[in-house]
A and B are shown apart, each in its own frame.
Chain A
């Protein structure tokens, strides 16, 4: 069965410190993985997707099929990174729906 696990509900880091938001998934086949972000009082928005291999707002994420992980990383956290982050999975076996994790609330302490 498809599943996305974000083990940390809350994560706090100091400004300038590295940050890693964990995402593990369960999927048979080749998944597409995404990170979505929701800033305070704003809508969910796409941050990045693994197939584009981009760095958005300094964030990167690498798909590790061996560990079935797609952790989101940033070397130096900024206060404006404080938000709710959701990992999501899609693929041929999921039909047309995305499976979302329960989210991690990141707080960057000034």
Chain B
């Protein structure tokens, strides 16, 4: 297990297109989180899964955003009808219960 894996590393898309990112957490970890980070800011919480259940969503997660974690393993984050304001680094993290997170390398989204 090499840690939390995120794909793709970079994504450039045109405004209005849909994009999907994938996160593979550490296999023993039951919790999975998505965060977004913009330039000059710390990571901001988007959503949280415990196993396959999505238990929390931030107000930052508009209805254009959807996340899934089928079977409690990998997770996907989809953004529909992308806007320039969606440009950011999208970070995935996993943990076992409330212990400290292990982060992935992130997916950098650029909307042009």
CA distance A9 to B103 in the complex (A): 22
B25 at the interface (CB under 8 A from A): no
Chain A 44-71, CB-CB to B under 8 Å as 1, else 0, gives 1110010000000000000000000000
A31 at the interface (CB under 8 A from B): no
A contacts with B, residue count (CB < 8 A): 23
Q: Which residues of B contact A9 (CB under 8 A)?
A: 40
B105 at the interface (CB under 8 A from A): yes
Q: Which residues of A contact B100 (CB under 8 A)?
A: 34, 46, 49
Min Cβ gap B33→A in Å is 7
Given contacts A44-B91, A46-B100, contact A97 B45 (CB under 8 A): yes
Count contacts between A and B, CB distance < 8 Å: 51
Instruction: List residues 74-110 of chain A with CB under 8 A from any CB of chain B.
Output: 86, 88, 90, 95-103
CA distance A46 to B48 in the complex (A): 19
Contact call A100/B101, Cβ cutoff below 8 A: no
CA distance A103 to B44 in the complex (A): 12
Q: Which residues of B contact A88 (CB under 8 A)?
A: 42
Contact call A43/B106, Cβ cutoff below 8 A: yes
